[in-house]
Structure 1
Amino acid sequence: MSIAYTIAGFAVGAIVGLTGVGGGSLMTPLLVLLFGINPSVAVGTDLLYAAVTKAGGTVAHGMKGTVDWTVTRRLATGSIPAATITLLLLGYFAPGGIGGAASLIKVSLGVALLLTAVAIVFRKQIQAYALKQSGGQENPQRTKLLTILTGAVLGILVSISSVGAGALGVSALFFLYPRLATLRIVGSDIAHAVPLTLVAGIGHWFLGSVDWALLGSLLIGSLPGIWLGSHISTRIPDRVLRPILATMLVLVGSKLIAA
């Protein structure tokens, strides 16, 4: 079974390398639906998996100078406390550990996947609308507060479902910072995902919902997968990749909600 996990890690890693999103959106439901992993264990393990894989992406973007650390810090100001509080509440209301919150996590994951699909499909429209609405009259203080609030929402969502730090985070930044270069938005979002998924992952570890053997098997496959996906991404047009990924998320999200 560890070989199957490694293959799954490679496949998801390659997709993340190709599209820039889809780590939590694909890995967690894959573990739940294909391998029958308990939803909370799948979420907890995937959070640490994301922290390690996206740390590599942060180093790459940081070396290129494509991370806006001010934006990253604002997001983390909201997300880290929100994630901590969410995990404390999860532990309080689900004292049984991994089994107590399985139903909540499953439904939350399905809803998050559907939202992620919408964000992927309408990413360009969101950016265009934000540019039109700003009209050159930006309010720095308002943008700062909304960024912190966005981080808090992502912290809650990611802690419960492991989904949202990628596509939802990027889409929110497109709306809040319409004049920021796309590459800097992506780099800033990846950098923010590292501390968020690490904190949330450690929280799930204390709740007893991390499978370390599974994590190791996934990372063995995902790291070369991300490398490969990143290298061939320039040969596949974005207009082809986004609809495919969005369709997958809708199908999987709907199945989780209806299960």
Structure 2
Amino acid sequence: MSELFTTAALSVLLVSFGVGIVVGLTGMGGGALMTPALIFLGVNPTAAVANDLVAASVNKSVGAAVHWKHGKPNIRLASLLIVASVPTAFAGAFIVKALGGGEAESTESFLTYAIGCALLFTAATYALRMYLQLRHVTSGNTISEEDPKLRVVPTLLVGATGGLLVGITSVGSGSLIMVALLLLYPTLSAIKLVGTDLVQAVPLVLSAAISHVLVTGVDWAVLIPLIVGGTPGTFLGARLANWVSQSVIRRGIVIVLSLTGLKMLGVPPEIVGLIGAAMLLLGPLVWGFIRQTRGLPAFDNNAAAWRLPERSSSSVSSGDEDEARRTPTR
């Protein structure tokens, strides 16, 4: 019991609270941020993945409950994703054990490399999502009053792939799947997108958590601070999701995930530092240039990616694309 009152446990609690806010706000970033954070706090990779998945199954349930009430998730779409993702997520822990050859050192080495690759892939999907929403700004898309027609086969493939990635690394339930949904269903409003992703993520993460508990077990000194910190953080973030801009958060996440992924892949700290400095200094300039190529001001934070049907194009500000969440049908 005394293990719950150590500096390490307090560090896990504080970090999980911050990550929980990000999860509630965006539906993204839980495993992508929490798992490497646990590893950097000294938890071995297999235990980090297992405990994070168990905690995420609780924390995401809180966020999903809030979005169920306020975000109006697309239940049919979430159901399709669940059908495909739950079996592959459950297989994840057994795949890790098999590829690691049953040896702890080999398993942890494989898992560290897999998480590093997953983080870089996740950072790329975050950046892709920002660009896709920027494209929606300039194409003048409108919010549809009706749910989009389901694309069954592609949705099932997305669910199966996302479930497998989460089952192996705990990363992907709110990144790969979110971006894939944006590509498949571009007329689904941003707040419905977040709500749908959180709802489908609950059974997905729970399935992955059960398999990792069976294979690895849990560390209560890590798990309890994760839940105690992450649950209120996720609740707070979900309640703020309708009016807090995600633009700065997502751009910061891209940088953090990129640098963390490089670090976990063994890139020298000096190189990681140089890349981080370049992303901080040049990133905004590159993004501003991309915005200008789409006919938008380089630096303007007053935009919406979607127009309400009754509003004319002239009434839409042309700034930051990530404000789409501010314009659900009222």
Shorter-chain-normalised TM-score: which range? Answer: 0.7 to 0.9
How far the C-alpha of 1:224 sits from its partner, in A, is 2.5
Superposed, 1:60-99 pairs within 5 Å as: 60-64=66-70, 66-94=72-100, 96=102, 99=105
Count of residue pairs the alignment pairs up: 250
Q: Which of 116, 126, 132 matches 1:120?
A: 126
Higher relative contact order (CA 8 A, sep 6+): 1
* 1:187 aligned onto 2:195: yes
8 Å Cα contact 2:12-2:222 kept in structure 1 = yes
**CA distance in 1 between partners of 2:236 and 2:192 (Å):** 22
RMSD: 2.5
Give CA deviations for 1:150-169 in whole Å, capped at 9, x if unaligned.
11111111011101000221
Select which of 19, 30, 36 maps to 1:23.
Answer: 30
CA 69–232 in structure 1, closer or farther in 2 if over 3 Å, else same:
closer
* Letter matched to residue 65 of structure 2: V
1:135 paired residue number: none
- Which of 38, 42, 45 is the matching residue for 2:44? 38
Residue from 17, 21, 24 that aligns with 1:14? 21
Note if contact 1:17-1:230 (Cα within 8 Å) is conserved in structure 2: yes
| Post-superposition offset of 1:189 | 0.8
1:199 aligns with: 207
Compute the displacement of 1:18 (Å). 4.0
Could you say which residue in structure 1 is the equivalent of 2:166?
158
Greater CA drift, 234-243 or 169-178: 234-243
**Cα deviation per residue 1:199-218 (whole Å; 9 max; x = unaligned)?**
10110001124223311111
Question: 1:69–1:230: structure 2 CA closer, same or farther, 3 Å change rule?
Answer: closer
How far apart, CA to CA, are the structure 2 residues paired with 1:193 and 1:120?
17
1:239 lines up with 2:243 in the alignment:
no
Could you tell me which of 63, 67, 71 is aligned with 1:57?
63
Looking at structure 1, the residues matched to 61 and 159 of structure 2 have their Cα atoms a distance apart, in angstroms, of 18
Runs of 4+ residues over 4 Å off in structure 1? 97-100, 230-236
Sequence identity percentage:
36
| Residue 136 of structure 1: aligned partner | none
Per the normalisation by structure 2, the TM-score is 0.69
Tell me how far apart the structure 1 counterparts of residues 124 and 12 of structure 2 sit (CA, whole Å).
Answer: 28
1:54 CA displacement: 0.6
Give the distance between the partners of 2:221 and 2:107, measured in 1 at CA.
22
Give unmatched runs, 5+ long, in structure 2.
Answer: 1-7, 140-147, 268-330
| 1:76-118 CA-partner distances (Å, limit 9, x unpaired) | 2221121233333334444637544212211111111112112
8 Å CA contact retained: 2:112, 2:265: yes
8 Å contact from structure 1 (residues 40, 99) kept in 2: no
Contact 1:98 1:207 in 2 (8 A): no
Correspondence list, 1:96-175, <5 A: 96=102, 99-126=105-132, 128=135, 143-175=151-183
Structure 2 distance, partners of 1:145, 1:233, is 30
Provide closer, same or farther for how the CA distance between residues 235 and 64 of structure 1 changes in structure 2, counting only shifts above 3 A. Answer: closer
Structure 1 residues 97, 219: CA separation in 2 closer, same or farther (over 3 Å shift)? farther
Distance 1:15 1:95 in 2: 35
Bigger radius of gyration among the two? 2
Q: Deviations for 1:176-199, whole angstroms, at most 9, x for unmatched residues?
A: 111112211111111111111111
Structure 1 gaps of 5+ residues are 133-138
